[in-house]
Structure 1
């Protein structure tokens, strides 16, 4: 089965794309983030309401590639039997630049249609990859915001 994959191309240089996925995750994915996200061995917790995940940075090649491994997960969906099904999956970001711009390929290795959450997770990634593109192109993404969720 195919793993979730998405590719975007932006006019930003590779170093800005790399920074977006190592230092600016809260600007496009979720601002409910604690920990460090830039170097091999770093670990961070990220939440979307009651859905919470812990990632380790297992590869970080500046302006080229970043790999996050999901160490812990709780997906807050009543219908899920396995609320931890992301554990062990890898989020692989591959950056390549040329004179036309920078291409970012995202592969969520392990997230495929055998996962109970696939349809919801696929829609979520589509949304957040769009948020990442907006952050890179306009300086402002549409991340999950803890404050908005609390006030709604």
Structure 2
């Protein structure tokens, strides 16, 4: 049994609609993403100053079926091993189940033994189960904007309290 971080949800929208939302990373994760997020082999980066930086390469892009990103490099200010994400893979698998679409997110290589796991589980949960799901279902995600993003990530990392 895999211990990789895994999240899943089902939606009424088609796998094609879910795929389009997943590849529109700025619409559900962060408006500060740099680089193309919808082309095989493309590289994009995510950054929150002084907290988190990572670069991804799109290694799989199967319309209505699968999206996969290899983490080329990473830096997390809140873990002893700041490069804990480097070499891991983020994957979205789509399948039709009883007329609905199952979206399965897996961060392969991120397991409970790692320092980032709890914080990253919470953060990915907000982005995937909250913002991405909302984007698929309603056409409106809840990505972080640059303003407030650092505070949110710091709160998730436990360095400041969560805003109320």
**TM surpasses 0.5:** yes
Q: Deviations over 1:51-107 (max 9, x none)?
A: 111000011111111110000111122xx2111100000011111125622111111
* Cα distance in 2 between the residues matched to 1:113 and 1:147: 30
Task: Give the conservation status (yes or no) of the 8 Å contact 1:30–1:47.
Answer: no
Moved over 6 A (4+): none
Contact 1:30 1:48 in 2 (8 A): no
- Written as runs of structure 1 = structure 2, the 5 A alignment for 1:85-124 is 85-98=84-97, 100-124=99-123
Higher strand proportion (structure 1 or 2): 1
Q: Is the 8 A contact 1:48 1:144 kept in 2?
A: no
Taking only aligned residues, the RMSD between alpha carbons, in angstroms, comes to 2.0
Shift of 1:147: 3.6
After TM superposition, give the deviation of residue 14 of structure 1 in Å. Answer: 1.1
User: Does structure 1 residue 146 correspond to structure 2 residue 146?
Assistant: yes
- The CA distance in 2 between the partners of 1:97 and 1:149, in whole Å, is 34
Aligned residue for 2:40, secondary structure, equals coil
Change over 3 Å in CA distance of 1:62–1:149 after alignment to 2: closer
Sort the Cα spacing of 1:40 and 1:30 in 2 relative to 1 into closer, same or farther, 3 A.
same
Specify every segment of 5 or more residues in structure 1 that has no aligned partner in the other structure, as ranges. Answer: none
TM-score by length of 2: 0.84
What is the CA–CA distance in structure 1 between the aligned matches of 2:15 and 2:6, rounded to whole Å? 19
TM-score, normalised on structure 1? Answer: 0.90
1:1-152 maps to which residues of 2 (within 5 A)?
Answer: 2-22=3-23, 24-50=24-50, 51-77=52-78, 80-98=79-97, 100-129=99-128, 130-149=130-149
Partner residue in 1 for 2:160: none
